[in-house]
């Protein structure tokens, strides 16, 4: 894949595969497809500092998710961060938001730094920082839109989550901005280290640990999640359709 249009064709296929297989991986795929559409539209409108470079970054970034997905569906092993996110899709007890954050955790905290470095191979990484931040801003806006409208598929989410405020829980405190800052720091470390394999393995181990916190929250939050989950929609395809609607409406406000 060399163009965003090629990425979008494959993302459409993944979304349809997830619907037909009733796979919760589709929740993240829906969200990320909209990110890619928004970046494409921004490139067409000339919004970025270097639009051809942004397309390269977007393709490299998307390809890491697509490659991980294809490895997993073929029975091979992707990075541990992605393996945990993909395996979690089999568990109907996880909330829609948990599945979304597991995908975002692997993609932002691990993949984005690598993609940013690869798009600036042989160049000063700092040159891409502003456009790097713009991709994160798109994702943050979409996630905020989903969270603001999650009550459609999760009717009691908004009532119960405040009960857990003040607790040091990954699910409650997950922040795209914090993830972005960590991803940028990792991008610098990865960019300057000739031992790329070590950097990926070490970072993946740390991000997989964060994924475990999303999968296995503390006792109080686990109880609240169970209560929320009882009221969430059960149809995976219906949830995907609603997420697509919410993210599309959010994009229209940009």
pLDDT at 166: 55
Q: Is the pTM of this model over 0.95?
A: no
Give dist(CA 160, CA 172) in Å, integer. Answer: 12
For the segment 169-207, what is each residue's pLDDT rounded down to a tens digit?
Answer: 556 557 787 888 999 999 999 999 999 999 999 999 999
Q: Which contacts qualify for 37-43: CB closer than 8 Å, 24 or more apart?
A: 37/8, 37/251, 38/138, 38/142, 38/251, 38/254, 39/4, 39/135, 39/138, 40/4, 40/5, 40/8, 42/134, 42/138, 43/4
Give dist(CA 158, CA 174) in Å, integer. Answer: 16
Is the CA virtual torsion 56, 134, 253, 33 positive or negative? Answer: positive
For the segment 60-98, what is each residue's pLDDT rounded down to a tens digit?
Answer: 999 999 999 999 999 999 999 999 999 999 999 999 999
Q: 135: exposed, middle or buried (C-beta count within 10 Å: 0-12, 13-18, 19+)?
A: buried
Reported as a pLDDT band with limits 50, 70 and 90, residue 168 is very low
Q: Which residue has the tokens 């977007």?
A: 58
For the segment 152-166, what is each residue's pLDDT rounded down to a tens digit?
Answer: 898 887 776 676 565
Is the CA virtual torsion 204, 209, 214, 215 positive or negative? Answer: positive
For the stretch 155-168, what's the b/e string if a residue is b when 16 or more beta carbons lie within 10 angstroms of its beta carbon? Answer: eebeebbeebeeee
Q: Is the pLDDT of residue 7 over 80?
A: yes
**Cβ atoms of 210 and 109 closer than 8 Å:** yes
**Cβ atoms of 168 and 97 closer than 8 Å:** no
Closest CA relative to residue 18, chosen from 4, 32, 6, 36: 32
**Average pLDDT score over residue span 18-37:** 95
Q: Give me the chain's average pLDDT, please.
A: 90
Q: Which residue has the tokens 């503390």?
A: 218
Q: Which residue has the tokens 């000063």?
A: 124
Reported as a pLDDT band with limits 50, 70 and 90, residue 121 is very high
Give dist(CA 117, CA 128) in Å, integer. Answer: 9
For the segment 204-243, what is each residue's pLDDT rounded down to a tens digit?
Answer: 999 999 999 899 887 777 888 888 888 999 999 999 999 9
């Amino acid at each position: 894949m060399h163009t965003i249009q090629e990425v979008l064709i494959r993302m459409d296929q993944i979304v349809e595969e997830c619907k037909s297989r009733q796979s919760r991986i589709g929740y993240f795929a829906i969200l990320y497809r909209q990110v890619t559409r928004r970046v494409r539209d921004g490139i067409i409108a000339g919004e970025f500092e270097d639009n051809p470079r942004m397309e390269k970054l977007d393709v490299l970034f998307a390809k890491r998710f697509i490659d991980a997905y294809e490895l997993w569906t073929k029975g091979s092993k992707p990075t541990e961060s992605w393996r945990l996110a993909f395996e979690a899709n089999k568990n109907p007890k996880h909330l829609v938001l948990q599945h979304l954050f597991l995908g975002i955790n692997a993609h932002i905290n691990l993949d984005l730094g690598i993609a940013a470095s690869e798009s600036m191979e042989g160049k000063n990484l700092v040159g891409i920082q502003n456009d790097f931040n713009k991709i994160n801003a798109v994702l943050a806006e979409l996630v905020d839109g989903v969270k603001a409208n999650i009550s459609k598929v999760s009717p009691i989410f908004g009532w119960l989550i405040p009960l857990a405020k003040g607790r040091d829980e990954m699910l409650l405190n997950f922040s795209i901005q914090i993830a972005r800052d960590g991803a940028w720091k990792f991008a610098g470390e990865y960019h300057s280290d000739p031992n790329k394999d070590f950097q990926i393995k070490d970072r993946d181990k740390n991000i997989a640990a964060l994924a475990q916190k999303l999968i296995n929250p503390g006792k109080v939050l686990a109880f609240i999640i169970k209560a929320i989950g009882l009221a969430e929609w059960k149809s995976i395809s219906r949830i995907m359709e609603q997420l697509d609607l919410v993210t599309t409406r959010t994009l229209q406000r940009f």
